[in-house]
Amino acid sequence: MVARGERLLSAQLDDLEHAWTDAVDRTVGEVRNWTVLYSGGLDSSLVAASFRDRAKVDLLTVGVPGSSDLRAAEEGARLLGLPWRGREVFDEDLRRIVGENAEGFAALSSPSRAVLVGLALGLDTARTRYVACGQGADELFLGYAHFEGTSDLEAERRRRGDLARLVEEDWPCSQQLAGRHARTLVSPFLEPRFFRHYSKLPIPELRSGLDRKHLLRQLARSVALPPELVGRPKRAFQYGSGIEKALRRLE
């Protein structure tokens, strides 16, 4: 007999598979050439693999020389069978981006500033007009460390805060940067139908497994993402790229 929890997870996964396919189809549309900003982690690997079936995809990773993201992304690209470029970031690159965006970055926290600096460098380096990323996955599927060990009530409070910051600050800033670099930036996690539905999913349904983003990892398995990428632990971009540490050193 199939346990109730297993039946519930199966139904959740079926719904997620259909919703994800629809979100990716709507995001890709008729565009046939994409750059995917790629860290080698679960979220961007899922985006890359899903776009790969619909369009021509190049992967791009930004990081300081020797950073873990550059190493992980090169290996991830090999596993996905997709072309990859690594953009090594040096002090002069960081100074230039911070100087060009001094007013917009002034009120940001150090992690947020590092993320946007990296995004700006990625947009500047992309060879295509259309650029995709995995933004929104952590907010929707409880990917951040601050969800660990919390009650469902506290997790919901923290998720509301994360989603509000994403919608009101992080994504608008990302869109503004894209406009300055003459790029169109998208994320299938933020496709309106997908985002509306999964931003309201009850916390217990998101916690149906022991690992963070369990439901999203199940989706990754269902689309045949390589096991090494499905199970790769979360590491925030600002740390994996080495950009936040480099910015602190330059202050």
Q: What six digits make up the tokens of 84?
A: 């990859």
Going by pLDDT thresholds of 50, 70 and 90, the confidence category of residue 210 is low
| Cβ count near 53 (within 10 Å) | 11
Going by pLDDT thresholds of 50, 70 and 90, the confidence category of residue 209 is low
- The phi, psi pair for 130, rounded to 5°, reads -100, 125
Q: What is the pLDDT of residue 102?
A: 80
Using the predicted structure, report yes or no on whether residue 93 has a pLDDT greater than 60.
yes
Distances (CA, A) of 99 to 94, 110, 157: 8, 15, 36
Using the predicted structure, report yes or no on whether residue 176 has a pLDDT greater than 80.
yes
Going by pLDDT thresholds of 50, 70 and 90, the confidence category of residue 43 is very high
Using the predicted structure, report yes or no on whether residue 2 has a pLDDT greater than 50.
no
Average pLDDT over residues 131-153: 92
Length of the chain: 251
Residue ranges of domains in the chain:
4-250
187 vs 98: which has the higher pLDDT: 187
What superfamily would CATH give domain 4-250? HUPs (3.40.50.620)
pLDDT tens-digit series, residues 225-238: 999 999 887 677 87
Are 76 and 229 a contacting pair, CB within 8 Å? yes
Q: Indicate the pTM of the whole model.
A: 0.91
